[in-house]
Amino acid sequence: MTSTTAAAQLAGLSATTLLRFATAGSVDDGKSTLVGRLLHDSKSVLTDQLEAVEHASRARGAEGPDLALLTDGLRAEREQGITIDVAYRYFATPRRRFILADTPGHVQYTRNMVTGASTADLAVVLVDARNGVIEQTRRHAAVAALLRVPHVVLAVNKMDLVAYAEPVFAKIAEEFTAYATELGVPEVTAIPISALAGDNVVEPSSNMDWYGGPTVLEHLETVPVSHDLTSCHARLPVQYVIRPQTPEHPDYRGYAGQIAAGTFRVGDEVTVLPSGRTTKVAGIDLLGRPVDVAWTPQSVTVLLEDDLDISRGDMLVPSSDTPTSTQDIAATVCHVADTPLRVGQRVLLKHTTRTVKAIVKQIPSRLTLDDLSQHPNPGILAANDIGRVLVRTAEPLALDAYADSRRTGSFLLIDPADGTTLAAGMAGEAFARAEAPASAADDEDGWDF
């Protein structure tokens, strides 16, 4: 770099936002083709990748390049023609950078969709226009609702096979939106597409003049990714204490962490959990530069006015807005391990930067995602089961409801014996109630990051 002008120009190059989204749908719905089409039509597929796909397609006796092959990863999958795990794809347009968690939609892979949805700002649920909303679609909607994904897109695919008929699309969109709204999904955008022919994926379709909305890519480019954080609980889990103890910085003591929710300002009165001691924010160091205010998901180092005993696993919160600490956690979990979770099992619970011992006290119910029916006291949860659990922890934890804060309301259950991740937990109620919010301010609540 030679001049500040050049620096500013390059900074301009990077002035795009980042959207993380997840896809759900089965091989039969044409999900791989949709993803391949997004990558291909947004010019994110490069010549050598396309050559490899053409080569592999020919080797299998296919006529043209099979775009689904762009996203096939491991040999086991190629041999079985299935997708067995979450794969991450990267593409960009001049307007935005995208991280796509590509998750298989098959019934036994609920855990993969839960994994992909856990970091997503948006979920694309794919249905086949000929089949409409089926059990699997309801399952995908339920996972998106459970994981509190802020934006849901219903992509009604294979419109070319139903003669691009508007009534077919309208009926499916209406049925899905009603169901998702019932689950508390705040926003559904329905788009009629043909991934194979390319209608409404990247380019607007001339076959569906009756549809006036955005293409899938246009919607991905314009959906909001940041939120008004002023109404959110501010939370900073302490990751690491920075103490240089050098001649230049003899007394520097900074608390490093990624802001999990809300905003922090210099001068804020904060409480340290679990000790309950209070102090004020004396300074905020944003990766080498002092700032007056910082917000989620920035990684910062906070300096405090008083010398308190603070270590990894503690949490800084505004003194006016502290979470309740508890040793009894009621939560919804998705069981992600192959061995079942049992009542009485001793586990480790990882919440933000703190890991504590815990016991599974009760498993009050198992949830069937197809119809949201409850199965009382199942005793165990098997792989891909979703259920309610009551967990008792060895130490109090400052948990928020997952509905209020995805980062401070989520936790992992871990097997102390071998470190396996057993379950993904979400504290508080499973689904938002679909009643009309009391006010617009409440509407903003619960969708912070």
Binders of another protein among 306-335, rule CB under 8 A?
Answer: 312
Among 183-191, 193-201, 410-418, 427-435, which window interacts with another protein (CB under 8 A)? 410-418
Closest approach of another protein to the CB of residue 272, in Å: 17
The site for another protein, by CB under 8 A, has a size of 92
Any residues with CB less than 8 A from the CB of 278 and at least 6 apart, and which? Answer: 269, 270, 271, 272, 319
Amino acid at 414: I
Over the window 95 to 124, marking each residue x when it contacts another protein by CB under 8 A and - when it does not, the resulting string is -xx-x-----------xx-xx--xx-----
Rule CB under 8 A: is residue 18 a binding residue for another protein? Answer: yes
Cβ neighbors of 86 (< 8 A, separation 6 or more) are: 101, 102, 103, 112, 115, 116
CB of 192 to another protein, least distance (A): 28
- The single residue among 13, 163, 436, 438 that binds another protein, judged by CB under 8 A, is 13
Q: ∠412-414-415 over CA atoms, to 5°?
A: 165
In the complex with another protein, the residue whose CB is nearer, 88 or 210, is 88
d(Cα 3, Cα 315) in Å, to the nearest integer? 42
Q: Which of 1, 436, 438, 440 binds another protein (CB under 8 A)?
A: 1
C-alpha neighbours within 13 Å on the C-beta side of residue 237:
21
Positions in 215-254 near another protein (CB under 8 A): 224-229, 239-240, 242-246, 248-249, 252
Q: Which residues contact 290 (CB under 8 A, 6 or more apart)?
A: 283, 284
Q: Kindly indicate which of the ranges 198-206, 209-217, 286-294, 320-328 contains the residues binding another protein, using the contact rule CB under 8 A.
A: 286-294
- Region from 29-37, 45-53, 205-213, 435-443 binding another protein, contact rule CB under 8 A: 45-53
* Under 8 Å between Cβ of 200 and 410: no
- Does 9 bind another protein (CB under 8 A)? Our answer is yes
**439 part of the interface to another protein, by CB under 8 A:** no
Of 105 and 192, the one with the shorter C-beta distance to another protein is: 105
Identify any residues that bridge with 379 across adjacent strands, giving them in sequence order. none
Kindly state whether residue 366 participates in binding another protein, applying the rule CB under 8 A.
Answer: no
Question: Among 61, 63, 75, 167, which residue sits at the site for another protein (rule: CB under 8 A)?
Answer: 75
Please select the residue that binds another protein; options are 124, 336, 367, 398, rule is CB under 8 A.
336
Which of residues 41 and 182 has its CB atom nearest to another protein in the complex? 41
| From 70-78, 202-210, 265-273, 430-438, span contacting another protein (CB under 8 A) | 70-78
- Of 73-81, 129-137, 365-373, 387-395, the segment contacting another protein by CB under 8 A is 73-81
Q: Does 298 contact another protein by CB under 8 A?
A: yes
Of these, 307, 418, 438, 440, which contacts another protein (CB under 8 A)?
Answer: 418
- Main-chain dihedrals φ then ψ at residue 74, nearest 5 degrees: -95, 160
**Site for another protein (CB under 8 A): which residue of 288, 309, 435, 439?**
288
Is 12 an interacting residue with respect to another protein (CB under 8 A)? yes
CB of 353 to another protein, least distance (A): 7
Among 62, 74, 107, 178, binds another protein (CB under 8 A): 74
Residue 299 touching another protein (CB under 8 A): yes
Nearer residue to another protein within complex by CB, 49 or 362: 49
Closest approach of another protein to the CB of residue 220, in Å? 14
CA-based nearest residue to 332, from 87, 110, 101: 110
